[in-house]
Amino acid sequence: MSVGSQIEKFYQEVSEKQYLWFGEFPDGTMLEFDVSDNRVSLPVWSSKSRIVRLKKLNSDLLSEIEPREMSWKNFKEHMVPILEDKNRLINLNLSGKNLTGFDLEISSLIRNLEARISVS
């Protein structure tokens, strides 16, 4: 599946279910990746099965990660301010053995998803 179709699937599934998923280590820290320009990206997924599949493909790196669910409302209210303060990016439906994904600004995620939700 292409990155574009992964992004589209993320918006479709999260706008329908109003939940998203992230990965958490046993110590409570969230899975994040260093990316270009000294930025850090938080991967989020539109379903638990996507994280489980990614863990199987990348067990050496992600074996300790546990899927955690959060409502879109709670994510916006509680996580977004923290992520913005830390200047984080968001990666939608990271997938594959090579951890393929697309990083974007949190403001873009909110704008795009809220537009989808308003037409649903």
Domain ranges of the chain: 3-119
Name the 3-class secondary structure at 1: coil
pLDDT digits (tens, 9 = 90+) for 52-90: 999 999 999 999 999 999 999 999 999 999 999 999 999
According to the model, what pLDDT value does residue 56 have?
96
Closest CA to 22 of 116, 102, 92, 100: 92
Amino acid in the structure at residue 27 = D
Task: Tell me the whole-structure pTM to 2 decimals.
Answer: 0.93
For 4, other C-beta atoms within 10 Å of its C-beta total 9
Domain 3-119 class? alpha beta
Tens-place pLDDT, residues 4-58: 788 899 999 999 999 999 999 999 999 999 998 899 999 999 999 999 999 999 9
What's the CA gap between 92 and 110, in Å, rounded? 12
Q: In this structure, are strands 66-71 and 89-92 parallel, antiparallel, or unpaired?
A: unpaired
